[in-house]
Amino acid sequence: MDRINCPLCNNKNFKIVLKKDDLSKYYDLVKCEDCGLGFINPLPTEEDLTKYYNAEYAVPEYQKVKLIKKAKKVLNLLKKYGLDSNSKILEIGASHGFFLNEVKKQGFTPYGVELSKKACDNAKKYFGINIENVDFLQSSFINKKEYFDAVVLLDVLEHLTNQNEN
Protein backbone atom coordinates (compact mmCIF):
# COMPACT_ATOMS: atom_id res chain seq x y z
CA MET A 1 0.00 0.00 0.00
CA ASP A 2 1.20 3.48 -0.79
CA ARG A 3 2.05 6.11 1.73
CA ILE A 4 -0.06 9.24 1.55
CA ASN A 5 0.83 12.88 2.11
CA CYS A 6 -0.53 14.64 5.17
CA PRO A 7 -4.33 14.88 4.63
CA LEU A 8 -4.31 18.32 6.24
CA CYS A 9 -1.32 20.22 4.77
CA ASN A 10 -0.14 17.85 2.01
CA ASN A 11 3.40 17.69 3.41
CA LYS A 12 5.16 14.37 2.75
CA ASN A 13 7.58 14.43 5.68
CA PHE A 14 6.41 12.56 8.74
CA LYS A 15 7.86 10.45 11.49
CA ILE A 16 6.57 7.06 12.50
CA VAL A 17 5.18 7.16 16.03
CA LEU A 18 3.81 3.62 16.25
CA LYS A 19 3.88 0.55 14.04
CA LYS A 20 0.60 -1.33 14.04
CA ASP A 21 -0.40 -4.63 12.53
CA ASP A 22 -4.15 -4.79 11.91
CA LEU A 23 -6.50 -6.36 9.37
CA SER A 24 -3.46 -8.49 8.40
CA LYS A 25 -1.81 -5.38 6.94
CA TYR A 26 0.54 -2.81 8.40
CA TYR A 27 -0.69 0.60 9.35
CA ASP A 28 1.69 3.04 10.98
CA LEU A 29 0.65 5.93 13.16
CA VAL A 30 2.68 8.89 11.90
CA LYS A 31 3.02 12.54 12.81
CA CYS A 32 3.32 15.23 10.16
CA GLU A 33 6.55 17.17 10.65
CA ASP A 34 4.97 20.32 9.29
CA CYS A 35 1.53 20.73 10.91
CA GLY A 36 1.80 18.06 13.62
CA LEU A 37 -1.30 16.07 12.59
CA GLY A 38 -1.21 12.45 13.67
CA PHE A 39 -2.71 10.02 11.16
CA ILE A 40 -2.62 6.41 9.97
CA ASN A 41 -0.29 5.91 7.01
CA PRO A 42 -1.03 4.27 4.65
CA LEU A 43 -4.77 4.80 5.09
CA PRO A 44 -6.96 1.71 5.05
CA THR A 45 -8.96 1.48 1.82
CA GLU A 46 -12.69 2.15 1.88
CA GLU A 47 -13.19 -1.59 1.33
CA ASP A 48 -11.03 -2.46 4.35
CA LEU A 49 -12.87 0.05 6.51
CA THR A 50 -16.29 -1.28 5.49
CA LYS A 51 -15.11 -4.80 6.28
CA TYR A 52 -13.73 -3.66 9.63
CA TYR A 53 -16.79 -1.72 10.74
CA ASN A 54 -19.11 -4.55 9.77
CA ALA A 55 -17.12 -7.39 11.28
CA GLU A 56 -15.30 -6.03 14.30
CA TYR A 57 -17.38 -3.09 15.36
CA ALA A 58 -19.42 -4.50 18.20
CA VAL A 59 -20.23 -2.96 21.57
CA PRO A 60 -19.18 -5.17 24.45
CA GLU A 61 -21.80 -5.58 27.17
CA TYR A 62 -19.72 -3.74 29.78
CA GLN A 63 -19.60 -0.62 27.60
CA LYS A 64 -23.35 -0.30 27.19
CA VAL A 65 -23.93 1.16 30.66
CA LYS A 66 -21.17 3.69 30.03
CA LEU A 67 -22.66 4.64 26.63
CA ILE A 68 -26.14 5.19 28.05
CA LYS A 69 -24.71 7.33 30.84
CA LYS A 70 -22.78 9.42 28.31
CA ALA A 71 -25.90 9.74 26.11
CA LYS A 72 -27.89 11.17 29.03
CA LYS A 73 -25.09 13.61 29.84
CA VAL A 74 -24.88 14.91 26.24
CA LEU A 75 -28.65 15.19 26.02
CA ASN A 76 -28.80 17.17 29.27
CA LEU A 77 -26.24 19.55 27.81
CA LEU A 78 -28.29 19.97 24.61
CA LYS A 79 -31.43 20.64 26.67
CA LYS A 80 -29.66 23.56 28.33
CA TYR A 81 -29.36 25.13 24.88
CA GLY A 82 -33.08 24.78 24.33
CA LEU A 83 -34.76 21.68 22.93
CA ASP A 84 -38.54 21.37 22.88
CA SER A 85 -40.88 18.44 22.34
CA ASN A 86 -40.70 18.92 18.54
CA SER A 87 -36.90 18.90 18.41
CA LYS A 88 -35.22 16.72 15.80
CA ILE A 89 -31.75 15.42 16.54
CA LEU A 90 -29.37 13.93 13.97
CA GLU A 91 -26.43 11.83 15.05
CA ILE A 92 -23.61 11.26 12.56
CA GLY A 93 -21.83 8.01 13.39
CA ALA A 94 -24.79 6.72 15.40
CA SER A 95 -23.28 3.28 15.97
CA HIS A 96 -25.79 0.85 17.52
CA GLY A 97 -28.15 3.69 18.48
CA PHE A 98 -27.61 4.05 22.21
CA PHE A 99 -27.57 7.85 22.10
CA LEU A 100 -30.54 8.06 19.72
CA ASN A 101 -32.53 5.63 21.82
CA GLU A 102 -32.10 8.03 24.73
CA VAL A 103 -33.20 10.87 22.42
CA LYS A 104 -36.32 8.86 21.59
CA LYS A 105 -37.03 7.92 25.22
CA GLN A 106 -36.95 11.57 26.22
CA GLY A 107 -39.53 12.48 23.60
CA PHE A 108 -37.39 14.00 20.83
CA THR A 109 -37.18 12.71 17.24
CA PRO A 110 -33.99 10.79 16.41
CA TYR A 111 -32.28 10.48 13.02
CA GLY A 112 -29.01 8.68 12.44
CA VAL A 113 -26.32 7.99 9.89
CA GLU A 114 -23.90 5.08 10.39
CA LEU A 115 -21.32 3.33 8.18
CA SER A 116 -21.55 -0.08 9.84
CA LYS A 117 -24.43 -2.12 8.45
CA LYS A 118 -24.44 -4.34 11.50
CA ALA A 119 -24.69 -1.38 13.89
CA CYS A 120 -27.47 0.16 11.75
CA ASP A 121 -29.43 -3.08 11.76
CA ASN A 122 -29.14 -3.24 15.55
CA ALA A 123 -30.28 0.39 15.96
CA LYS A 124 -33.34 -0.36 13.81
CA LYS A 125 -34.11 -3.74 15.33
CA TYR A 126 -33.66 -2.96 19.02
CA PHE A 127 -34.53 0.73 19.18
CA GLY A 128 -36.63 1.41 16.04
CA ILE A 129 -34.34 4.27 15.03
CA ASN A 130 -34.62 5.97 11.62
CA ILE A 131 -31.05 5.43 10.54
CA GLU A 132 -29.29 5.36 7.16
CA ASN A 133 -26.37 3.03 6.37
CA VAL A 134 -24.35 5.48 4.26
CA ASP A 135 -21.44 7.89 4.42
CA PHE A 136 -22.92 11.05 5.94
CA LEU A 137 -22.09 13.10 2.83
CA GLN A 138 -24.49 10.81 0.92
CA SER A 139 -27.22 10.88 3.55
CA SER A 140 -30.68 11.98 2.45
CA PHE A 141 -31.08 13.64 5.85
CA ILE A 142 -28.32 16.06 4.94
CA ASN A 143 -29.08 16.44 1.26
CA LYS A 144 -32.81 17.09 1.67
CA LYS A 145 -33.97 20.45 2.87
CA GLU A 146 -34.34 18.83 6.25
CA TYR A 147 -33.39 20.78 9.33
CA PHE A 148 -32.29 19.59 12.72
CA ASP A 149 -32.29 21.30 16.06
CA ALA A 150 -29.03 19.59 16.92
CA VAL A 151 -26.43 17.54 15.05
CA VAL A 152 -24.28 15.35 17.24
CA LEU A 153 -20.94 13.63 16.53
CA LEU A 154 -19.61 11.48 19.36
CA ASP A 155 -16.20 9.85 18.90
CA VAL A 156 -16.38 10.47 15.14
CA LEU A 157 -13.69 12.98 14.16
CA GLU A 158 -10.85 10.51 14.62
CA HIS A 159 -12.53 8.15 12.12
CA LEU A 160 -12.63 10.63 9.23
CA THR A 161 -10.12 9.87 6.48
CA ASN A 162 -10.19 13.29 4.81
CA GLN A 163 -10.58 16.18 7.23
CA ASN A 164 -10.48 18.82 4.48
CA GLU A 165 -13.31 17.22 2.50
CA ASN A 166 -15.45 16.35 5.54
Contact predicate 90/108, CB 8 Å: no
Residues that bind Zn ion (CB under 5 A): 6, 8-9, 11, 32, 34-35, 37
Q: Work out how close the CB of 84 gets to Zn ion at its nearest, in angstroms, rounded to a whole number.
A: 43
The smaller minimum CB distance to Zn ion, of residues 27 and 127, is found at 27
Q: Work out how close the CB of 72 gets to Zn ion at its nearest, in angstroms, rounded to a whole number.
A: 37
Q: Work out how close the CB of 141 gets to Zn ion at its nearest, in angstroms, rounded to a whole number.
A: 32
Phi and psi (nearest 5°) for 151? -120, 125
The smaller minimum CB distance to Zn ion, of residues 37 and 59, is found at 37
Contact predicate 7/21, CB 8 Å: no
Q: Which regions of the chain does DSSP assign to beta strands (E)?
A: 14-22, 25-32, 38-41, 88-92, 109-113, 130-132, 150-153
The smaller minimum CB distance to Zn ion, of residues 35 and 137, is found at 35
The smaller minimum CB distance to Zn ion, of residues 32 and 103, is found at 32
Q: Work out how close the CB of 41 gets to Zn ion at its nearest, in angstroms, rounded to a whole number.
A: 11
C-alpha distances in angstroms, 112 versus 43, 53, 63, 131?
Answer: 26, 16, 20, 4
Contact predicate 89/78, CB 8 Å: yes
